[in-house]
Structure 1
């Protein structure tokens, strides 16, 4: 039984792992190090064997989130550390994050500054996600999508069934912890330039990242999203009715349609709120 398990999801990241694994082992010799090989076609398994770390290999790629879930299930440590396998995260920051965790937090996230963002587009998107998540939760969210996290294993495993297999596991886990009143803290970090080519494709993953915005709301409090949307439809219907009444002296189908949409959106939010409450119900 280990106290600390360091989990590295990796897909064809052998060049980065060649320097990252020795650094982790030297800094944390007593930790369990697990590389989750997400269908790599390079020499990741043999590299792990050379350094004496555990490698969980998959016959095909299942996604970053799937690798995180496999690693969390296999880990024996009481504390889980998730790091990207591409060399962006500095293992030396783990100590600072563990110190923060000992102050009573259940999850500590390595928060990147603007200079650590992978391009202006990604930086603007992450800024939007952070702002929206902060508004939804009422807590300052410094980095919603950071993959560098230190988490108490028993708390994290409560939400494995919620985590997607794709790249949005950080968003899901953050909102799940806030929803369940598990304290979350942020520690500033500097992320290095990744080694190798990113597996995120803007055209392919753009819609997925857009859906993160809606996931933020539905994972925490659906009514905070659906009530304003319902109000917008109601006000638009009212404005349309006022205009047509003053100019034509009648109620139009458009106003009725807007009000109907307002009621439907509100009811969808109400049902979503109930589903969310059931999702986070604990059956100990």
Structure 2
């Protein structure tokens, strides 16, 4: 592919049962991007819709030369759909947004302008969000606060799908589970410069929301995963080994205490709960330490098998750059 064939912008839109919204959304995106005079492509990923969205996308592709439809075999979820969009995107900048018309395509030029200030990721902030206060706004505020505290990336609105990424940043991130909501935190792990920008938000015009309180448990589990990745991805022994040593030390101290009681004072220790606790602590400590060693081996396999570096170089200045390339890792 020549440099002239590479779009300036790829707009990735995960779609699930949005047949009524799609024509309006694609038209609005195209109208906005034509005005920017930039080459663009729109990638709609149908995540197993059952309302005819896939069929509609097939017909829209015939009339919109910049539209690409990626049709998944079944409903996998928003994270796999977004990952598929990233894999098919060719643009230098990738914009993500929802397919329900609540995000405003008119904000895309503002995101691009902010990105040009030197950032790697610009996250939208739905400052005046048009959603139900009790079932959507309140849980969202709590989640944003919690995610910010745990990950160290303070944003007002993690849940806003309208974001702008540099393509090289997206190439460094692998998505699993429901990690799409933690993309800024994953980008931060890769050393990205992140900011946020207030964007418009509209009330839903068609269909019903796919989100609910039922996702709370999955969000918490994924948050723990992101926290572990941020803190211990390249040094898992530091967490497993630490707790293992603490458990073994406590078990050993309890064992010594019970030994003194038995040998020195002739007391019976066979029916003492402390004896069981000492044994459990020793066994648990050995297991945690072993888990740490296994995690270290898995971590090394993970990085080496994928050629994945343990650091990222932002820029090399001066000297003969072409002849001084170092192996990352």
Displacement, 1:183? 1.7
Residue pair 1:80, 1:150 contacting (<8 A) in 2 also: yes
Structure label with greater radius of gyration? 2
Deviates more, 1:207-216 or 1:194-203: 194-203
Q: Distance in 2 between matches of 1:187 and 1:43?
A: 34
Q: Distance in 1 between matches of 2:149 and 2:242?
A: 18
Residue pair 1:114, 1:123 contacting (<8 A) in 2 also: no
Displacement, 1:189? 2.8
- Among 136, 139, 147, the alignment partner of 1:129 is 147
Q: How many residues align?
A: 272
In the alignment, structure 1 residue 177 sits paired with structure 2 residue 193: no
Aligned to 1:15: 20
SS at match of 2:146: helix
Aligned to 1:196: 207
TM, length-normalised to structure 1 = 0.77
In the alignment, structure 1 residue 46 sits paired with structure 2 residue 60: no
In the alignment, structure 1 residue 74 sits paired with structure 2 residue 85: no
Residue pair 1:130, 1:143 contacting (<8 A) in 2 also: no
Question: Which gives a bigger RCO, structure 1 or 2 (Cα 8 Å, sep 6+)?
Answer: 1
Residue pair 1:219, 1:276 contacting (<8 A) in 2 also: no
Quickly say closer, same or farther: Cα 1:228–1:170, change in 2 above 3 A: farther
Displacement, 1:112? 3.5
TM, length-normalised to structure 2 = 0.67
Q: Distance in 1 between matches of 2:110 and 2:268?
A: 68
Aligned to 1:230: 243
- Among 190, 194, 219, the alignment partner of 1:209 is 219
Structure 2 unmatched ranges of 5 or more = 1-5, 259-266, 310-326
Aligned to 1:27: 32
In the alignment, structure 1 residue 163 sits paired with structure 2 residue 175: yes
Quickly say closer, same or farther: Cα 1:200–1:224, change in 2 above 3 A: farther
Displacement, 1:206? 3.5
Displacement, 1:6? 0.8
Structure 1 unmatched ranges of 5 or more = none
Residue pair 2:19, 2:56 contacting (<8 A) in 1 also: no
